[in-house]
């Protein structure tokens, strides 16, 4: 199907769809009807929108499109995590991961959204970064990952639960704040009570330290969580692990975090990938405590998931707990992220798509 000259309806909010209907000579309420089909029922074919007159369905089929990304392949981990390989309109490919949540594992899922095809940040330990950067995703391609994953989960698990995805984290491929406007537009679509209606507190955006984005987020009237991928407690090491640090060193990053705290009064989470013999010594723990303690933040430790082509190693369980205890004794609020999806390369830092 040639979609190039058609109007993309996915990504429009309810008001924009109503305006579009007026523009093509239809009553405003048709926009609301189509909005519900797209965002509540995950329907992309106009022919399935049964309360829309047949003539209008035919017209829309010729002039408009709802491009929910296509799932080409999925891999299922032994822990229930699923990794979807999705294809976009221009045939670029991305990966999206859903992770089972909570006690009754498998009833609700957390979705990890990609924000770019590849990533220009090139963190030393990350498979996505080493695969290069291709382009930013549009908001409709991000919200499309939600709709496509929900449709797939409902179909595969034979569950008619519209809330099957209960959490969203912007932690997949890409640096979200290098694509700020489109990311935030997708957040507003996720939280719209007339549409997907996801709770704001169930959404997290994770940045590798894009200072401008942190300051802009502080100005939004949003209750979402901000996570910072820290990974090193001093500039010398962070320059090597997260090259964005050369543009925004830790002093500037922490200043932006303080600004965010002042404006929003919301705790931030620092993510810290644990790399054996690289960033988990006693000295690193001391530096981390000194830097983070005044901010009353949470630290989320992530034991590294090894990537075949990269030299970093996962620390032993003893070393993980040792570092954890140093931080706790230093007065930090620390959690260790449980590993999910490592066997299907769906864990943090393992997303990688070969270009066609």
Q: Per CB under 6 A, which of residues 284..303 are in contact with ligand SF4?
A: none
Q: Per CB under 6 A, which of residues 152..191 are in contact with ligand SF4?
A: 173-175
**Distance of closest approach, residue 228 Cβ to ligand SF4, in angstroms:** 11
Q: Are strands 7-8 and 70-76 parallel, antiparallel or unpaired?
A: unpaired
**Residue for token digits 């989960």?**
153
Q: Which of 38, 60, 123, 205 touches ligand SF4 by CB under 6 A? A: 123
Q: Which of the residues are catalytic?
A: 95, 348
Q: Per CB under 6 A, which of residues 189..228 are in contact with ligand SF4?
A: 208
| Distance separating alpha carbons of residues 352 and 132, to the nearest angstrom | 10
**Distance of closest approach, residue 126 Cβ to ligand SF4, in angstroms:** 3
Yes or no: say if 169 and 198 are a contact pair by the CB < 8 Å rule.
no
Yes or no: say if 176 and 227 are a contact pair by the CB < 8 Å rule.
no
Q: Which of 128, 131, 136, 138 touches ligand SF4 by CB under 6 A? A: 128
**Distance of closest approach, residue 233 Cβ to ligand SF4, in angstroms:** 17
Helix (H, G, I), strand (E, B) or coil at 101: coil
Compute how many residues bind ligand SF4; rule: CB under 6 A: 12
| Tokens at 316, concatenated | 């032993």
**Distance of closest approach, residue 71 Cβ to ligand SF4, in angstroms:** 21
| Tokens at 13, concatenated | 């909010």
- Decide if residue 349 touches ligand SF4 (CB under 6 A): yes
Yes or no: say if 208 and 144 are a contact pair by the CB < 8 Å rule.
no
Residues at the contact surface with ligand SF4, assessed by CB under 6 A: 119, 121-123, 126, 128-129, 173-175, 208, 349
């Amino acid at each position: 199907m040639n979609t190039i000259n058609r109007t993309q309806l996915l990504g429009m909010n309810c008001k924009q769809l109503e305006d579009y209907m007026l523009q093509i000579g239809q009553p405003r309420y048709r926009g609301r009807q189509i909005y519900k089909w797209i965002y509540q029922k995950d329907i992309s074919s106009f022919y399935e929108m049964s309360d829309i007159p047949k003539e209008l369905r035919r017209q829309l089929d010729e002039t408009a499109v709802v491009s929910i990304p296509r799932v080409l392949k999925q891999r299922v981990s032994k822990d229930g995590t699923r990794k979807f390989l999705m294809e976009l309109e221009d045939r670029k490919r991305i990966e999206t991961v859903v992770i089972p949540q909570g006690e009754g594992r498998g009833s609700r899922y957390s979705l990890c959204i990609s924000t770019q095809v590849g990533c220009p940040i090139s963190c030393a330990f990350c498979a996505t970064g080493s695969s290069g950067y291709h382009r930013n995703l549009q908001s409709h391609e991000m919200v499309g990952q939600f709709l496509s994953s929900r449709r797939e989960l409902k179909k595969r698990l034979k569950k008619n639960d519209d809330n099957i995805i209960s959490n969203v984290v912007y932690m997949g491929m890409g640096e979200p704040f290098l694509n700020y406007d489109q990311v935030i537009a997708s957040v507003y679509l996720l939280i719209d009570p007339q549409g997907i209606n996801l709770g704001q507190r169930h959404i997290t955006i994770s940045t590798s330290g894009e200072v401008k984005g942190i300051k802009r987020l502080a100005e939004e009237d949003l209750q979402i969580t901000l996570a910072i991928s820290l990974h090193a407690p001093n500039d010398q090491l962070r320059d090597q692990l997260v090259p964005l640090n050369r543009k925004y060193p830790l002093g500037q990053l922490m200043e932006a975090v303080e600004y965010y705290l002042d404006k929003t009064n919301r705790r931030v989470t620092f993510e810290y990938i644990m790399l054996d013999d690289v960033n988990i010594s006693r000295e690193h723990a001391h530096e981390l405590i000194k830097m983070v303690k005044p901010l009353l933040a949470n630290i989320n430790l992530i034991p590294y998931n090894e990537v075949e082509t990269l030299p970093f190693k996962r620390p032993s369980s003893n070393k993980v707990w040792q570092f954890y205890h140093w931080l706790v004794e230093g007065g930090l609020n620390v959690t260790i992220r449980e590993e999910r999806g490592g066997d299907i390369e769906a864990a943090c830092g393992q997303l990688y798509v070969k270009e066609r």
